[in-house]
A and B are shown apart, each in its own frame.
Chain A
């Protein structure tokens, strides 16, 4: 059997190399997850405006996920349904300002391209049809474009 003297520094280096190699190998595994967090692209906000089955929109809805906070407000006029999207807090404003985005409903009734302003706000004007409101009330997505 191989026997031999080993000093403390060698033992430490065996441990340190192991720690570094493990950290490197795990970083490789996690790279995809970390980079999607670091460089958000085409984030989808599943904004459930109301409980399933609801046909009327509530006054507002709030979407929160890590580092992202976006509020939607709904205002009704005779011919238009106004949807105001507003980033809440500096981190969200920083991420959303001047970004292009797309609002859509899963049933395909609503599809609306828009851009957030420098303050992370966007005002959308939709047709005030009951089908549109009902579709939005089932939940909708706000997809942030790349770039």
Chain B
């Protein structure tokens, strides 16, 4: 399951980066964008972002005003500005894909592509990207390079790309002019890249918030926190003063990495925080809070709408989804806003309220998630 609040925030950022000025072009002004995102995180959705993305209440910064903006700025520095690394055996990471997608939106740069290895072209960068090439070069020079350097090939030139790049660095190195992505078929792959980049950057922070731990008050690694989630799940969730036998059984099944015993874990500040009943509870339902498993490979959408529809019909034939699901999915591929879909006669009939349509779309995601989980259990031969 995904953190739907983070998905919503990512979509908000993607939307800003697809909103044109009066001349019809999209321009990114980094400082204004930074301030705008900070305000949205601190105050957006009636404080829901503050609690469910930032976990401000866990850090003791949940009050409105300065505290909230402090929490937002901390998240932006530690998540949005955290350089992401390329996983072993991969060519790029999620922030690279985001940068590539942004640069492809500059006029005439549709063919820009990330490359690693081989002989780079030696042409001059296009005038529109000359300043960007210099700034990226400075950033790449400041970062240690392991293995073959990465580059963006565009119009016979090679723009240097640092192997470690944060989501924010991808955003602030957007080209000076970008075309608007006009149709859902163009927008959705960009929204996907933004969502996945944010999820990748937020993996440690998000898991911490999901467990009800202040992300700033522990130094657990991603692996430790994953094993901690498994332990808490085995113990039946977070409870103040749970029965010893339940904790021992959970420990036998899923011990927390780097703790030699249950007692050592319970004596640690993290163990005390989670099971002594003194701390703030998590606001995110536990089963929803296991942040998206970030796949080992970088992810982008590649299926065209026709192939997608063909595969959806297969899912319908297998009764994974029903006719109404199929209709909703099909409408989403065409319509701009969910309110437009709700305005369609069949949708109005099936969903008397807008909220009931939203609930149904959430269920649709869960149906496909269940099918993916079943795939893992049964294997591809049964699919």
Contacts and interface: CB of A to CB of B under 8 A. Distances in A.
A23 B65 CA distance: 28
Interface in A82-115: 88-92
A64 B67 CA distance: 14
A34 B69 CA distance: 16
A24 B47 contact: no
Interface centre among B8, B15, B36, by most chain A C-beta atoms within 10 angstroms, is: B15
The bracket for how many chain B residues form the interface is 35 or more
A11 interface: yes
B40 A19 contact: no
Given A14-B311, A24-B11, A89 B65 contact: yes
Chain A interface residue bracket vs B: 35 or more
Contacts of B337: 25, 28-29
Interface string A3-36: 1111110111111111111111111111100100
A6 B383 contact: yes
Given A25-B341, A29-B339, A67 B39 contact: yes
B308 A17 contact: yes
A38 interface: yes
A52 to B, nearest CB: 25
B189 interface: yes
Nearest to A69: B65
Contacts of A26: 8, 11, 338, 358
A23 B369 CA distance: 16
A89 B66 contact: yes
Contacts of B195: 19-20, 23
A31 to B, nearest CB: 6
A6 B311 contact: yes
Contact of B302 (A13, A28, A88): A13
A7 B383 CA distance: 8
Contact of A4 (B10, B314, B340, B341): B314
A11 B372 contact: yes
B332 interface: yes
B348 to A, nearest CB: 16
B299 interface: yes
Give the most central of A11, A20, A64, A65: most B CB within 10 Å.
Answer: A20
Nearest to A24: B191
A142 to B, nearest CB: 17
10 contacts: A14-B311, A15-B369, A17-B192, A18-B365, A21-B333, A24-B191, A64-B64, A69-B65, A89-B66, A92-B65
Interface of B: 2, 7-8, 10-12, 14-15, 36, 39-40, 42-44, 46-47, 64-66, 68-69, 184, 187-189, 191-192, 195-196, 295, 299, 301-303, 308, 310-318, 329, 332-333, 335-341, 358, 361, 364-365, 368-369, 371-372, 375-376, 380, 383
